[in-house]
Structure 1
Amino acid sequence: MDIEARVKKVITSCIAVDVDSINGQTHLVEDLYADSLDLIDIVFGLSEEFDISCNENDLPDMTTFADICRVVKKSLESRV
């Protein structure tokens, strides 16, 4: 499973949305109506799914699905 699919899996496990409603420009708050607790759940879900260090300080950089994928990829690259 690629990074994008895994990120979608994390998002849909935290927010009751259809996976097909998520694309690169999907905004977590404006389009998916995520609240602050949903965002924290997503951050912790990403940390577990990818075994990366991700915390609430990363939230300002994670407003869209594409942003989240970019943060995850950067975190994975910095592990190597």
Structure 2
Amino acid sequence: MSAFGVPAAAESVPATAILNAIPAQFSGEFLQWAVVFFVIAIIAAVVGARGVAGVSMTVAKWFVIVFLLLAIVSLLL
């Protein structure tokens, strides 16, 4: 073990190998979560919980924005 708690075998891996192991494509999990929060917002609005509906809609909006940004970055790389 090194001073940082990393095993000695992990220290010998070059940084380029680690960067090449990270996929350049992103999954659509942000979009799935956006749909989940949108459905929660719709149900909360029907029930009358306006505060929950507003917060859920805000979270869904941010998930869509993050999804779009990651999709653009993925397409450019």
Q: Compare the two structures and name the one with the higher helix fraction.
A: 2
- TM-score, structure 1 length as denominator? 0.29
Larger Rg: 2
